[in-house]
Structure 1
């Protein structure tokens, strides 16, 4: 009898869900949460300011788009290499150093005498420094939040990030119209300094996670790639994360899609804003529901189905529906994107603590690459066949890919369960 009750108590303990309240009660998480939100808000403001500044100087849409493209290139090219810094050195120190350096670079961008070529160079290095910062933060979070608290904290940060992005883009134009692009960039520099101060006061110092022999960055990068892509389960989780390239694509062609949906009732910029806000809104809602009302084991079982849901609603655009239906479909797609929480939690469990920085950096670089390439390909195709069939094709391709990944994930979970049972009976 006793052996029959113990597993039940164990399952109930494992299935216990963390609440947002107990996560927020942790001082170090509050510091990481506030620092991330503050920096992100400044970044959204800076992106709008930079676009206005470059266009005012050059009057060239191509130059404006080229500078925006620079926000993708550094993470793709330098992210895998620099992310290893989060494993070589103390992670809090890496984050603080990146914040201070970015504050200095953005402050230089805020100088009216800065020539255009120098502005491009500064943008490149500011974005480049975000790679080790993000890797260090992602690797540090599982040390601050254990068990299901990590999922609850990740959900809270995801919701905050989406809300900050919506707020930043919505209010950015008004703020820049009031204070001008140079002062907006100076404000962004101040947010980086404030982030560094929050980290030094709210996050305790920890030793570096890497070995004492300090292998070269290139050696660590190759080892990280072998770790992430050499293991079937990790490889599947990474591909789940990169699936976002399909369902993020519509946001990149929201403006031409809005022009197609224009009926004379709402201005095209308003329709564009509604379309771009739809998926982040769904993401916030999905993250809340998924983390609050689904058990940890239930999240793993639902991950494949939600991945399919993240792409399936996009298929409806092939029928050229009205604006309300398109917004509803994109919100539903954003809700499906909540599967990323489960994929992230599973990834953390599978990666050794001393290798997390490099592993997260590789995944993040891939995320930037698939989003950038997806948006470029989508824009190129939409120019020739229109936005509706492009979004629908992205949905069909994404559903097919997600279904294959879901089958692989189900099989790998079954293999892991069988192995655990075999070890328990041995």
Structure 2
């Protein structure tokens, strides 16, 4: 992989080209955006249903945390083995097939009486295929929109994800009053099916892709070139580890305060929404990079308040402020895209996303493991301290 930025024929940056409304008027982006929204909603509902089911059956903070974020463990397998399919010649068909696999897996979770071991196996299988789907979707996104509109496009999708998670948790809590967790899985499966239909109806094939057949060797070769460059390694480290540890903090909300976990999760999502709106839409690229380091500090610092078990209102404000810090991923992702040749940007973005998701699973496991021996509040504080330490010790020179 060349270490220099690739040159692509982008349209000149203009307000029209980078505005949210202009993006949504594009049929293909609109289709990717809507299918993404439906997929996030389905994932939120199914994760909430599984976490509720596991918590009721086991009462274990560790297993509950892993059930909510455990699919992220399998994303690294996708990144290491078959992520090159994201840059295949027919990405639309690939995305449709991967969406169908997710549909089957979520529908299987709706079967009552399924052993927990089988549910966790399904969770890991879905994580593997979802990582490939993310790489394929992001590769298509980079082709559907010009380079000048990439950050606003990712910002809009992140904002939508945050809002969708807020609504998803609220709706999930309401639906669980009338449905069992199995019914919630069925709703998630229906949303996944609808998202698949949207992709089929709106997205066309794109092909500026590799002529060589994607597979295990191609994935390994590209990954080796990706990690050979120190600057890219540092970018990936800062995209993965601090975020993952903070997600581990959030995975303990059910154990920390079961009655108010929904409030804390919604506050975190609201903060993410606000941060992406400000950083992705209101700041230009230069200012995004200027504020990146401060945002990464904000990501972890408010969680240190959990050491004193603050009132729920104070905790929710702290969590919301920390959520704003997740917007630091945007300038880091922009820099990574600049250093990526066109023909492999789907795989590189897929590896970045898979690593970030995998570290969310690792963070959940670390925080859940700590909570087995410490109080949940203390475990949250320790995980936040580790996140802050990584940010301080591994500051990329180019992002400050």
In the superposition, the TM-score normalised over structure 2's length comes to: 0.85
For the residue of structure 2 that corresponds to 1:209, the secondary structure is: coil
| CA distances 1:101-123 after superposition (whole Å, capped 9, x unpaired) | 33234334444586666555444
Shift of 1:161: 0.8
| Alignment check: 8 A CA contact 1:86 1:357 kept | yes
For the residue of structure 2 that corresponds to 1:178, the secondary structure is: coil
Mark the structure with the bigger radius of gyration.
1
Aligned pair partner of 2:230 in 232, 238, 260: 232
| Alignment check: 8 A CA contact 1:236 1:409 kept | no
Note the 1:55-66 alignment, pairs <5 A.
59-61=57-59, 65=64
Shift of 1:35: 0.3
1:370 aligns with 2:353: no
> CA 1:125/1:398 → structure 2, altered by over 3 Å: closer, same or farther?
closer
| Alignment check: 8 A CA contact 1:39 1:192 kept | yes
Give the corresponding residue for 2:385: 396
| CA distances 1:226-277 after superposition (whole Å, capped 9, x unpaired) | 232112222222112112023222212223433xxxxxxxxx512x222222
Give the distance between the partners of 1:340 and 1:176, measured in 2 at CA. Answer: 33
Give the corresponding residue for 2:345: 356
Give the corresponding residue for 1:107: 107
> CA 1:93/1:326 → structure 2, altered by over 3 Å: closer, same or farther?
same
Note the 1:383-422 alignment, pairs <5 A.
383-410=372-399
Aligned pair partner of 2:332 in 311, 325, 343: 343
| CA distances 1:174-226 after superposition (whole Å, capped 9, x unpaired) | 32443444443333332222222211221122226122x325x2212222322
CA RMSD, Structure 1 to Structure 2 (Å) = 2.9
Give the distance between the partners of 1:108 and 1:390, measured in 2 at CA. Answer: 33
Note the 1:297-308 alignment, pairs <5 A.
297-308=286-297
Q: How many aligned positions are there?
A: 385
> CA 1:371/1:360 → structure 2, altered by over 3 Å: closer, same or farther?
same
1:253 aligns with 2:252: yes
Structure 2: which 5+ runs fail to align?
A: 1-11
Give the corresponding residue for 1:186: 186
1:152 aligns with 2:141: no
Structure 1: which 5+ runs fail to align?
A: 1-12, 259-267, 412-426
| CA distances 1:70-124 after superposition (whole Å, capped 9, x unpaired) | 5233223344313221113421111111112332343344445866665554444
Give the distance between the partners of 1:171 and 1:180, measured in 2 at CA. Answer: 13
Give the corresponding residue for 2:4: none
Give the corresponding residue for 1:269: 259
Give the distance between the partners of 2:116 and 2:376, measured in 1 at CA. Answer: 33
> CA 1:139/1:53 → structure 2, altered by over 3 Å: closer, same or farther?
same
Shift of 1:393: 3.3
For the residue of structure 2 that corresponds to 1:338, the secondary structure is: helix
| Alignment check: 8 A CA contact 2:75 2:128 kept | yes
Shift of 1:360: 2.3
For the residue of structure 1 that corresponds to 2:18, the secondary structure is: coil
Give the distance between the partners of 2:348 and 2:150, measured in 1 at CA. Answer: 17
| Alignment check: 8 A CA contact 1:303 1:406 kept | no
Higher relative contact order (CA 8 A, sep 6+): 2
> CA 1:181/1:27 → structure 2, altered by over 3 Å: closer, same or farther?
same
Give the corresponding residue for 2:216: 218
